[in-house]
Amino acid sequence: MLAALGEGIISAVNAAEVLRVLVKKGATPADGRRVLARLHLQTVEFTGEDLAAVAEITQRAPQLSLGDCACLALGKRMGTEVLTADRAWASVDVEIAVRLIR
């Protein structure tokens, strides 16, 4: 899984979610950005195509959060598998390759 991080991508929505959680747990915004930078993920914009995919994913899996749907939408757009530790994703039929990392 660590090898995948070096080639990984994250949507701007999910990067903002990571920073938000870190700041809520006491990190400064600057510290949060440094933590995110250490992951060596390429941050990509959230597009109109992603917006449409979020709506489709939500229709099929309304129990998922906006962040979950944003991540899956990016996986759909990029045509790549999505890595997650969230076991709930394994049972969701969203036609996007999902790999559990634990």
Predicted pLDDT of residue 89 = 85
User: If you classify domain 2-100 with CATH, what class do you get?
Assistant: alpha beta
pLDDT digits (tens, 9 = 90+) for 57-79: 999 999 999 999 999 999 999 99
Q: How far is CA 37 from the centre of its chain?
A: 15
pTM: 0.86
Q: Is the dihedral of CA 93, 61, 91, 7 positive or negative?
A: positive
Output the six-digit token pair for 40. 């060596």
Per-residue pLDDT tens digits of the chain, which is 102 residues long: 455 566 799 999 999 999 999 999 999 999 999 999 999 999 999 999 999 999 999 999 999 999 999 999 999 999 999 999 998 887 888 888 899 988
